[in-house]
Chain A
Amino acid sequence: AQKVTQAQTEISVVEKEDVTLDCVYETRDTTYYLFWYKQPPSGELVFLIRRNSFDEQNEISGRYSWNFQKSTSSFNFTITASQVVDSAVYFCALSEAGGGADGLTFGKGTHLIIQP
């Protein structure tokens, strides 16, 4: 069965620090997809990134970067030079290609607090 673990329940850093959110996943499929979503205090879920299991290239988008390592089943998310607006709950999620149409398996989320 698929599973996503976000071991960090809450992280608090001072603005401008770099911070990494960890995500470890379990799946028996060879084809799968990993996602990160952001949930700001207003409550909506904002899609950040999707990565398939055949693409281990790291990705950078502005201050955001993602490190995908199949060898350790991890898909970590780093925010560089954090800002107060980055404060949110961040969810890592997994979808298996052979798992039918039943959506995503989410981790429990990491609450990121950026202090000014």
Chain B
Amino acid sequence: NAGVTQTPKFRILKIGQSMTLQCTQDMNHNYMYWYRQDPGMGLKLIYYSVGAGITDKGEVPNGYNVSRSTTEDFPLRLELAAPSQTSVYFCASSYDQGAGNTIYFGEGSWLTVV
């Protein structure tokens, strides 16, 4: 029952460093998503993917990049970390189109940029 697995769970980055948040799902879901959650706010969509090789921007894509080489994996890359990217990041997946299909979330990755 792995579901959506994301790593690392916690990370501290220095300004300007780069890193990749890994996400993998074992439910054979076509759709995958990256959200960020800031204190007191709901989740905001960064990027999403409707299948291998296809990605698209969400509401807050600036400063991030994604790739989807396989159905299972959807890594999120921060190229030049900035303090504004301090947040909790959630990877998620759903079987089919987002509307109407339950989206399942990973356990979150706490990222601090100092």
Contacts and interface: CB of A to CB of B under 8 A. Distances in A.
A91 B48 contact: no
Nearest to A45: B105
Contact of B100 (A52, A108, A109): A52
SS class, residues of chain B in contact with chain A: strand
Contacts of A96: 99
Query: How many of chain B's residues touch chain A, expressed as a range?
Result: 20 to 34
B100 A95 contact: yes
Interface residues of A, number: 31
Contacts of A95: 98-100
B76 to A, nearest CB: 14
Contact of B107 (A31, A32, A44, A103): A44
Given A35-B102, A103-B48, A103-B103, A4 B97 contact: no
Given A4-B42, A103-B48, A107-B42, A45 B99 contact: no
B50 interface: yes
A104 B103 contact: yes
Given A101-B31, A108-B41, A108-B42, A43 B50 contact: no
Given A103-B33, A103-B45, A109-B42, A47 B98 contact: no
B40 A108 contact: yes
Contacts of B108: 43-45
Interface in A33-56: 33, 35, 37, 42-45, 47, 50, 52
